[in-house]
Structure 1
């Protein structure tokens, strides 16, 4: 068992390191952008440590630089509202003690959640979440520090293609889950809703709207139960009855059978 855990942990460390390398670069870009926008160095570092919201930090810096701090707070809350279903999905993976749940909710990101849900519920999922969450948190903050120190020397991660590393990594983690037919239907329906809503809704709202796809299995279950019903109220035939009818056409006596009864454990010749 320990050997299996160690092998799985090594494989996950390799995957986390690949995403963590991209996170360092994107975090460095955030640090450089925040300082260039006029945010103090201490505030930039504190935002990555205490807020730790990735894309929401870029959006907040832009809105604060535009003179809309209230809009930055509201937009960040809306964008990160997806963590509510994340917490429900992870359940006991965060731990049972209060401080574990508080710290785990702070380390909860799309990537850490995907790493955890890729493992079956239990100790393996808990280990995956904490390992991925801690390493990615350190990678983001190390990148922010590098960006603050390097200033404008850090390039735009979109120009380098690093912005595609996160969705690509998430897709790779979620592919095994899509083997289940119901999960695949929900994922496709949610993706379709998000794509259709992206041009007309603010950032973050399409992701929340995609959660409406969770009703797909319920609708399919209702349709299946309706199909099982017999039309026109026709009664479904019950178990076959043996023996002649009773007097006046009454139901036969259950004790009367056409043939002998063989009970479990008895042999018949």
Structure 2
């Protein structure tokens, strides 16, 4: 029998997406849009971090070295609430673990040379993964990932510096209500990612658990405990599905 494997099949088996090529200009335009839109949020982080008591140098170091917005907001948010630095760092760490899973998928998708991978790893975050995974070919995935990562990294760090300097000039950021900027930006980034009913349920339960524990636990700890919402929701979902399948099987048996 003749081999009917197509080039699209080969791309799929090697980890690259299969689909019609997309013009490079369109990929760059989309990547720039995401990079600019999210990169400007670094201003909110700079303000929030300075309001939490971190210096301009410490704030900029977080954006330069950590570069994962949600984890950065979680860290400074816990510190601002008076949390222990170790607890705050632990919460930020566990929130950033998701980037490891992005990296596993992107390593197959992009298939970058070994010397480039350590530098590319710094740019593996929610937005770069989303842009790369949305592309139909490996070439467009590489372009989308690179443009998004570079644009976002440069803008995020620049606006972080401006936000931290602006916060110092303003003085008490709480008096301006800027302490709410960080959580607001984080929610704005998170909300579009909650597509399924299960994801929305996990997020809702996590919020309820965290709010309930805020008066009881030290700052930073409620975020860690709220992570238990995921296995809890999945456990009850599994039980419900098994019960429904059992009822369905019994109904078919009775009908026969």
Which of the five TM-score ranges fits, normalised by the shorter chain? 0.5 to 0.7
Structure 2 residue runs without a partner (length 5+): 1-19, 211-221
Deviation at 1:79, TM superposition (A): 1.6
Partners in 1 of 2:92 and 2:70 — Cα distance?
Answer: 9
Which structure has more RCO (C-alpha within 8 Å, separation ≥ 6)? 2
Aligned to 1:44: 59
Aligned to 2:215: none
With over 3 angstroms needed to count, the CA separation of the structure-2 counterparts of 1:80 and 1:31, relative to structure 1, is same
Aligned to 1:4: 23
Aligned to 1:193: 202
With over 3 angstroms needed to count, the CA separation of the structure-2 counterparts of 1:72 and 1:169, relative to structure 1, is closer
Aligned to 1:261: none
Aligned to 1:32: 50
With over 3 angstroms needed to count, the CA separation of the structure-2 counterparts of 1:110 and 1:54, relative to structure 1, is same
Deviation at 1:146, TM superposition (A): 0.8
Q: TM-score scaled by structure 2?
A: 0.62
Q: Contact between 2:209 and 2:226, CA under 8 Å: does it hold in 1? A: no
Aligned residue pair count: 211
Q: Deviations over 1:171-211 (max 9, x none)?
A: 66x69xxxxxxxx6xx3223223322332264267668658
Partners in 2 of 1:205 and 1:89 — Cα distance?
Answer: 28
Residues 1:96 and 2:116 are matched in the alignment: no
Q: Contact between 1:45 and 1:141, CA under 8 Å: does it hold in 2? A: yes
Alignment of 1:210-249 (within 5 A): 210=230
Partners in 2 of 1:79 and 1:122 — Cα distance?
Answer: 28
Over aligned residues, Cα RMSD in angstroms? 4.0
Partners in 2 of 1:98 and 1:204 — Cα distance?
Answer: 35
Rg comparison, structure with higher value:
1
Moved more, 23-32 or 125-134: 23-32
